[in-house]
Amino acid sequence: MAIISWKDCYETRIQVFDRQHQALVEQVNLLYSAIRKKLAASEEVAASEVMGFLRGWLLGHIVDWDLQYGPYLESRGGRFIA
């Protein structure tokens, strides 16, 4: 069960950023799965709060900050754009 599903709207069109973001999403999903398997039901609440924070931070970072790099770089000649 994934806590984050990668969507095309998260792509910055900067290949190195997109690869790093996708790898981080995959690691967060693996961590989430491992936590759910290991913890008792009473401990899941705290773990869910941490995972909710990680999910919110990662998606907020990509959408609010990194997506701005693509248009900026394109306006400067498109260098570094995949």
What pLDDT digit, counting tens, does each position of 40-76 carry?
A: 666 777 777 888 888 888 888 888 888 888 788 778 7
Within a domain: residue 57? yes
Averaged pLDDT for residues 1-26: 89
Backbone angles phi, psi at 11, to 5 degrees: -70, 130
- CA dist 46 and 55 (Å) reads 14
Within a domain: residue 3? no
Report how many domains make up the chain: 1
Place 3 in a pLDDT band, splitting at 50, 70 and 90: confident
- CA dist 40 and 12 (Å) reads 38
Q: At what angle do helices 41-64 and 15-38 cross, to 10 degrees?
A: 170
Within a domain: residue 6? no
- CA dist 12 and 70 (Å) reads 5
Structural domain that includes position 16? 11-75
Within a domain: residue 45? yes
- CA dist 24 and 71 (Å) reads 23
Question: In the predicted model, is pLDDT for residue 31 greater than 80?
Answer: yes
Within a domain: residue 22? yes
pTM (two decimals)? 0.66
Within a domain: residue 4? no
Within a domain: residue 82? no
